Structure 1
Amino acid sequence: MAAAGAKPALMPPGEPVLTYAALASAAARYANALVAAGVKPGDRVAVQVEKSAANVCLYLGCLKAGAVYNPLNTAYTAAELEYFIGDAEPALVVVSAQTAAKLASLRVARSIPRMETLEPDGTGSMADLAAGQADRHATVMRQPTDLAALLYTSGTTGRSKGAMITHENLVSNALTLSDYWGFTGDDVLLHALPI
């Protein structure tokens, strides 16, 4: 990322453009914040926040720190969250402040070690923790078969299941899409789906 330097990496609506260099720095700060919060390589980080530049930085920070990014749809109910959090057993849960207030009893019931907040505008306790960190982080080396993300299925035929996405899966997907679509560094991609 840092090699692309001043080129735009993210252009979120209503927010400043984030260059590749700025994205790399922010991802490093989030990786350092995760480590400061006690997250270790292989730990799951459950994230239920709106799509935002800060969420992308947190995702990349998880990958840099060797953690497993576990995105949870913001439309999930408290009962659904209880199931997902119980199943994933995250070391850290990141939610909006409003959701954190609703999950106080779940935090105790599921023994969630730590909960932080992150808002769509990039504020919150997780952002505050990241802001105080160094903007460099040596990426934790993981094996291709190590878990990178844990995505829950829609559960149309029964209970939602955690789909385990490895680092190799992420790289393969990126290379396949790049090859199939033929996009280059001059293209701008629109991302409409949840993160």
Structure 2
Amino acid sequence: MSRKQDRKKRRQRAHEEIRLKDHPEHTTKFYYDEQLVRGARVNRFMYVRYMSAFIFFLNLSWFVLILSVGSWGSVVPLFNALTAGIALVECMVGVARDYEELKYAGKLYLVSIAVTALVAVFTLVAGREMFFPFLTLPVYGAIFCLICIAAELLVLRRLKKMHDHTDKRYARYAKVSAEASNIS
């Protein structure tokens, strides 16, 4: 961070402290509760965000390995990495804009699961040359696809629970947001 940015941040903090200093205790409590609600919402989306990042980097590494060989099968890991990346961006935007659920992530993961399942079947039937030329046996490619599918199914399960408000973090989020709405 440059000195100019550091000075700007210090000035912003000082202005914020001056602004809050003139407010009653009620307003300070309101800002505190607002941060609690935001933290609870972020915790609800944490698993989806990290699993989406895991899926993204898993497919990205597969894409780089297959690209080094020069196979046309590199389209599939690129597609899967893009779908996971889009879902990851949607998750981050959803947290920042206070969305309760993600619209497109579930649909993207369903398509990605179908494509990965087709790749697993194709690898077992036709061989490893198209999608996994860097592996010794086609079974390893199918196992890799099953790991990708399992991770995507875990994300879909969490998204369903979040949609139905049955996830573990929802109780905390509902409690904190109810307390915050009673204050304001």
Q: Give the TM-score normalised by structure 1.
A: 0.23
Max Rg structure: 2
Larger relative helix fraction: 2
Q: Which structure would you say has the larger RCO, counting Cα contacts within 8 Å and 6 or more residues apart?
A: 2
Taking structure 2 as the reference length, what is the TM-score of the superposition? 0.24
Comparing both structures, which one devotes a greater share of its residues to strand? 1
